[in-house]
């Protein structure tokens, strides 16, 4: 029997669960209260099933799998584009946010004496590539810190006004450590006035808080897939503005990012043109049906729930935690003004370790770093469960 005549092994299309039954969509948690979606999403049953089905399907490499990885890539690209500007051509698939941000750093013009603006303490995936690029070009980094009482938006606006050679600002929408939100309406307007490029790391917001691409007009925006997009590790995305879909410089030159024509030939002296749009930034190694199937299933569920509904539902959970902490006399540990899905508790420094241990002892999982307990629920957590955090901490009041 020829290969073409073999029936393809199907990877089933993942089912979605309605918002009213969202908790049922996740793999059972038992007694654990997992509040660390900012580190790694709790797993959806559909994502687990899609990964297992794809693993089965690829166990016999001589059989065709349906959909094929190129078909999966285009499905994922189209789904991701719904979180940006609706144009599948604008989305590249990359292995990490750091890879996407380094691609942006490699593409944007920068010269000796220019400045690149970042926040103090922003996630290293959105710092290290700029340090490298500045070292290579003779440009310098401007790290924004806050004065007391100032919010991040005002601190950024002051730095923008104060930096004459500012060329690029590379920022988050939501901070990874405490959920602080930047007002990108105001920041992007100030940057545009000065013709400064905007790069965004949306890893802690995409899938919950929507970016306003039309209004902010960023040059590039990257996100991991394994947090709020509920997908797989090792599969992230990079959105590129139309001008960079034509002129951006990929870091890696992989054959899937090039159009080799129908007979897949690569001539020595005439480089194959780039594939269309942001596909020029697609990286190798992502022809993996397992990660692709998981990413498609996760994103399918996020889109079915719709990010504004997810944000509202997660806002009820963090709101319930504020109420419970207020009632327990622990309101001094919290601050308002964070994103609906991500917040941090800041105990007095002498008791941070004990507070962290108390949460662990109560089966509550979150990240403790830099003196903060970061709280990041997804919809597997019931609103009523959030009081467990205040109960576990009440003896510190």
Ligand X SMILES: Cc1ncc(COP(=O)(O)O)c(C=O)c1O
Residues within the interface to ligand X (CB under 6 A): 96-98, 123, 125-126, 172, 176, 201, 203-204, 224, 236
Listing DSSP states for 129-144 in one string gives HHHHHHHHHT-EEEEE
The maximal CA–CA distance of the chain, rounded, in angstroms, is: 74
Which residues does residue 174 pair with via DSSP β-bridges, in sequence order?
181
Cβ proximity of 216 and 185 under 8 Å: yes
Min dist CB 351 to ligand X, Å, is 25
Q: In Å, how far from its chain's centre is CA 244?
A: 20
Q: What DSSP element (H or E) covers 116?
A: strand 115-119
Name which of 163 and 201 has its Cβ closer to ligand X: 201
Min dist CB 45 to ligand X, Å, is 24
Min dist CB 99 to ligand X, Å, is 7
Min dist CB 218 to ligand X, Å, is 15
CA proximity to 96, closest of 72, 124, 125, 133: 125
Name which of 201 and 288 has its Cβ closer to ligand X: 201
Which value, in Å, is the radius of gyration of the alpha carbons in the chain?
Answer: 22
Cα torsion angle, 154, 159, 160, 162, sign: positive
Scan for tokens 């990885």, then name that residue: 69
Name which of 204 and 301 has its Cβ closer to ligand X: 204
Cα–Cα dist 137/254, whole Å: 25
Scan for tokens 């790069």, then name that residue: 199
Min dist CB 239 to ligand X, Å, is 15
Name which of 101 and 320 has its Cβ closer to ligand X: 101
Name which of 40 and 82 has its Cβ closer to ligand X: 40
Name which of 128 and 304 has its Cβ closer to ligand X: 128
* Cα-based distances in Å from 331 to 16, 139, 369, 381, 397: 37, 43, 20, 22, 9
Cα–Cα dist 227/230, whole Å: 5
Min dist CB 291 to ligand X, Å, is 13
Cα–Cα dist 343/321, whole Å: 10
Determine the Cα angle at 202 with ends 198 and 208, to 5°.
135
Name which of 228 and 274 has its Cβ closer to ligand X: 228
Name which of 358 and 376 has its Cβ closer to ligand X: 376
Min dist CB 228 to ligand X, Å, is 10
Min dist CB 177 to ligand X, Å, is 8
Name which of 114 and 177 has its Cβ closer to ligand X: 177
Min dist CB 227 to ligand X, Å, is 7
Listed in sequence order, the DSSP H helices in the chain are 45-57, 69-81, 97-107, 128-137, 152-162, 184-193, 213-216, 242-247, 289-305, 307-327, 352-361, 387-393
């Amino acid at each position: 029997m020829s290969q073409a005549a073999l029936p393809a092994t199907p990877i089933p299309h993942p089912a979605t669960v309605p918002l009213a039954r969202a908790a049922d969509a996740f793999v059972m948690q038992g007694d654990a209260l997992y509040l660390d979606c900012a580190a790694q999403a709790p797993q959806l049953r559909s994502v687990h099933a899609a990964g297992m089905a794809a693993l089965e399907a690829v166990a016999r490499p001589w059989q065709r799998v349906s959909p094929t990885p190129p078909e999966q890539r285009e499905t994922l690209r189209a789904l991701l584009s719904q979180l940006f500007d609706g144009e599948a051509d604008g989305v590249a698939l990359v292995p990490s946010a750091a890879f996407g941000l380094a691609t942006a750093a490699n593409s944007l013009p920068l010269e000796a004496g220019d400045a690149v603006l970042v926040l103090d303490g922003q996630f290293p995936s959105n710092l290290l590539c700029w340090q490298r690029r500045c070292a290579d070009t003779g440009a310098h980094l401007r790290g924004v810190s806050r004065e007391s009482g100032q919010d991040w938006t005002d601190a950024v606006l002051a730095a923008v006004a104060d930096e004459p050679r500012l060329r690029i600002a590379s920022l988050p929408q939501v901070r990874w450590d405490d959920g602080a939100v930047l007002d990108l309406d105001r920041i992007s307007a100030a940057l545009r006035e000065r013709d400064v490029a905007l790069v965004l790391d949306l890893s802690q917001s995409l899938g919950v808080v929507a970016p306003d691409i039309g209004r902010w007009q960023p040059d590039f925006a990257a996100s991991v897939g394994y947090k709020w997009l509920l997908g797989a590790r090792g599969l992230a995305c990079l959105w590129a503005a139309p001008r960079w879909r034509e002129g951006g410089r990929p870091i890696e030159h992989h054959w899937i990012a090039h159009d080799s024509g129908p007979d897949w030939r690569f001539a020595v002296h005439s480089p194959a043109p780039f594939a269309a749009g942001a596909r020029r930034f697609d990286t190798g190694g992502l022809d993996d049906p397992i990660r692709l199937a998981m990413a498609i299933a996760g994103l399918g569920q996020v889109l079915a729930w719709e990010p504004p509904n997810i944000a509202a539902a997660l806002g009820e959970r963090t709101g319930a935690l504020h109420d419970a902490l207020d009632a327990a006399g622990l309101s001094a540990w919290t601050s308002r003004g964070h994103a609906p899905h991500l917040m941090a508790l800041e105990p007095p420094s002498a008791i941070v370790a004990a507070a962290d241990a108390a949460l662990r002892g109560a089966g509550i999982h979150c990240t403790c770093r830099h003196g903060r307990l970061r709280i990041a629920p997804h919809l597997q957590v019931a609103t009523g469960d959030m009081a467990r955090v205040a109960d576990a901490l009440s003896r510190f009041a």
